[in-house]
Amino acid sequence: MYRKLIKPLLDRVCAFIAIVLLSPVFLVLALLIRIKLGAPVIFSQKRPGLDEKTFKLFKFRSMTNKKDTEGELLPDDERLTKFGRKLRMTSMDELPELWNILKGDMSLVGPRPLLLEYLPYYTEAERQRHTVKPGITGLAQVSGRNAVTWEEKFSFDINYIEQISFLLDLRIIVRTFHQVITKKDILVGKQHVVQRLDIERS
């Protein structure tokens, strides 16, 4: 009952309220990003969601469009400015994902949506993370955020799916706020970039 009916309803109600209350923050951030990083203000990227169906995830951009002499974009870490780092450390870059929740693509709590290119490398157990909607935050994020291994993250995701409840979601949301405020277990820069090149499994 909670997973199929109550959770989706709460997600959309909370997302709508958050967007209304945070609208001044959205406007200020959009202006600052436009000035400091350029256009477009919103960064979008295709990610796998429920049942591995692709959706477009929205974020505030945190990197510049700087290119090398051959016209190719510089490595992510070289395009990540001090301002961009602050956006990531405070998780402000994630705010546009509230629109994804309103659209029904995401949930407040759930496994974080990773890149499409990783899908072929998942084990059968890891594919379970796509049996629920991806979330803005999840059990893996409040259990170490970027400071845990990929195997541990997937394990946390599966544990969450097996135990979904209102109280668990509430605990994860509270712990998320605490983690963002204290800046605990946050890695930004080269360590933050997803580099799962060691998952060459068949």
pLDDT in tens, 55-87: 999 999 998 888 777 777 778 778 888 999 999
**CA 70 to the chain's CA centroid:** 31
- Please report, as a single letter, which amino acid is at residue 10: L
Which tens digit of pLDDT belongs to each residue from 73-122?
778 778 888 999 999 888 899 999 999 999 999 999 999 999 999 999 89
For tokens 């945190």, name the residue: 62
Cis upstream peptide for 40 (omega within 30°): yes
Helix (H, G, I), strand (E, B) or coil at 179: helix
